[in-house]
Amino acid sequence: MTYKVREEQGYAIVELTGDVDLSCSPDARAAILDCLKSRRHVLVDLAAVTYIDSSGVASLVEGYQTAKKASLRFGLVGVSDAAMSVLQLARLDKVFPIHATVEERVRQDG
C-alpha cells in the first residue's frame, strides 16, 4: 500500500492505493488520525484499493469514531469494488458516509 495526503475543498484527502492489510494498515491509521488531530475534516479515497482486510477496516472505523467525537466530518470517496464488498459484508456501507467523489461530498455539505 501507498498513501498520500492532499488538501482539497476544506478536506484532508487520504488517498490509499493497493492492498490495505495488516502489514501497512498502521500507516493508513496514522495518516488518518494525524489529519484528525490537526482538526481537519477527512475523506479517505479508496478508489485505488485492490484489497482491504479487517485491520484496514478497523483503521477506517477508528478514524470515523475519532472524527465524530471531535465534531469533524469524515467519509469515504471513490470506494473500489474490492473495498465496497468488504464494507458491505461488515454492513459498514450503512455506517460510513460514502460518496462517489470529493465534489459530491462538498456539494452535500453545501
The string of pLDDT tens digits covering residues 76-109 is: 999 999 999 999 999 999 999 999 999 998 888 8
In the chain, where are the structural domains located?
Answer: 2-105
Q: Write the CATH number of the domain with boundaries 2-105.
A: 3.30.750.24
Question: Residue written as cell 479508496?
Answer: 46
pTM of the model: 0.95
Q: How sure is the predictor about 18, in pLDDT bands with cuts at 50, 70 and 90? A: very high
For the chain, give the mean pLDDT.
96
78 phi-psi bin (left φ>0, alpha ψ -120 to 50, beta other):
left
* Torsion, Cα of 42, 92, 2, 71 (10° steps): 20
